[in-house]
């Protein structure tokens, strides 16, 4: 198993403030001290950073308040992506005091591509294929809604705009059975880094525990291997983390979305 400290250092150094070489139309970013502030993405805005440069106390409160002012003026909700090893230790309390609400915690897991790539093993009746285009992404949004029970209206726009801006930067794959999507997943190839990142993977309940998700991971790992990427990274839910650890992924930290929403 790869060394967790080395993997975390690579993650912090390469991924956390990486900017795609081609951005979707309307998506912009700006720097504010140690922060990278994103606007115009489907869903909501984002605040990312590698570290906060020893900010604490009143100076940190002002940095947080400034982000709230910017997004309030835009009428836009946004996510402050907080990692378990971020400092200072009281940052969650300061975010809560500023009106942020935490969503479900996930675990950052990383694996060498070479250890994950291999022939996908699918159950009888299922097949994998790569998809493009708005119509396919609408099907994926309907699938996600069926799995999670909530709206995913933002998803087709996100996938379509990213793939239009950089067709080589995003690959979307679906597992199908009898013409219906049973699992959907995608991979982002993070330019300028050694990482490809895995997203999605929601599987219909009746198709779980049959290897569908593992097959999508293997397929995407093969794509990363073909392009020369060294690592795979996943923000893993509590459902997918055990599967990924059995495949050889190493947990290195946690990540929690702290979300601020404009009043009303």
Q: Is the pLDDT of residue 177 over 80?
A: yes
pLDDT at 248 over 70: yes
pLDDT band at 55, cuts 50/70/90?
Answer: very high
pLDDT for the residue numbered 151? 82
Task: Lowest mean pLDDT of 33-37, 151-155, 201-205, 235-239, name the range.
Answer: 151-155
Residue 23 CB-density burial (10 A; 0-12 exposed, 13-18 middle, 19+ buried): middle
Residue 2, pLDDT above cutoff 80: no
Output 4-7 pairs: Cβ under 8 A, ≥24 positions apart.
4/250, 4/251, 4/252, 7/110, 7/231, 7/250, 7/252
Q: What CA–CA distance (Å, rounded) separates 201 from 184?
A: 5
- Average of per-residue pLDDT across 109-124: 97
More confident residue, 42 or 92: 92
Per-domain boundaries in the chain: 4-105+256-260, 111-254
Q: Average the pLDDT over 144-156 and give the result.
A: 90
- Count Cα atoms within 13 angstroms, Cβ side, for 37: 18
Question: For 86-107, what is each residue's pLDDT tens digit?
Answer: 999 999 999 999 999 999 999 9
4-105+256-260 and 111-254 have identical folds: yes
Q: Rounded to whole angstroms, how far apart are CA atoms 128 and 122?
A: 8
pLDDT at 264: 78
Residue 43 banded pLDDT, cuts 50, 70, 90: confident
Taking the domain 111-254, which CATH number applies?
A: 3.40.630.30
pLDDT tier at 41, thresholds 50, 70, 90: confident
- The CATH number, out of the four listed (3.30.310, 3.40.630, 3.30.70, 1.25.40), of the domain defined by the range 4-105+256-260: 3.40.630
Specify which residues 259 forms β-bridges with.
79, 101
- Region 50-64: mean pLDDT is 96
Q: Is the pLDDT of residue 1 over 90?
A: no
Separation of alpha carbons 173 and 179, rounded Å? 14
179 forms beta bridges with: none
């Amino acid at each position: 198993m790869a060394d967790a400290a080395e993997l975390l250092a690579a993650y912090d150094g390469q991924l956390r403030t990486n900017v795609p070489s081609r951005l979707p139309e309307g998506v912009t970013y700006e720097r504010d001290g140690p922060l990278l502030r994103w606007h115009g993405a489907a869903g909501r805005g984002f605040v990312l950073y590698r570290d906060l440069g020893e900010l604490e106390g009143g100076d940190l409160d002002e940095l947080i308040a400034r982000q709230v002012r910017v997004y309030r003026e835009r009428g836009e909700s946004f996510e402050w992506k907080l990692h378990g090893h971020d400092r200072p230790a009281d940052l969650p309390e300061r975010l809560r005091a500023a009106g942020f609400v935490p969503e479900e915690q996930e675990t950052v897991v990383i694996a060498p591509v070479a250890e994950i790539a291999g022939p996908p093993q699918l159950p009888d009746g299922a097949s994998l294929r790569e998809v493009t285009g708005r119509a396919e992404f609408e099907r994926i949004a309907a699938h996600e809604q069926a799995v999670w029970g909530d709206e995913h209206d933002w998803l087709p726009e996100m996938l379509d705009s990213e793939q239009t801006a950089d067709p080589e930067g995003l690959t979307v794959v679906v597992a199908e059975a009898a013409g219906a999507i049973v699992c959907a997943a995608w991979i982002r190839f993070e330019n300028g880094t050694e990482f490809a990142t895995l997203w999605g993977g929601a599987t219909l309940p009746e198709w779980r525990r049959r290897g569908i998700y593992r097959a999508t991971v293997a397929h995407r790992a093969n794509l990363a291997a073909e392009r020369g990427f060294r690592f795979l990274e996943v923000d893993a839910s509590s459902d997918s983390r055990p599967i990924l650890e059995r495949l050889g992924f190493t947990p290195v930290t946690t990540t929690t979305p702290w979300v601020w929403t404009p009043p009303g």
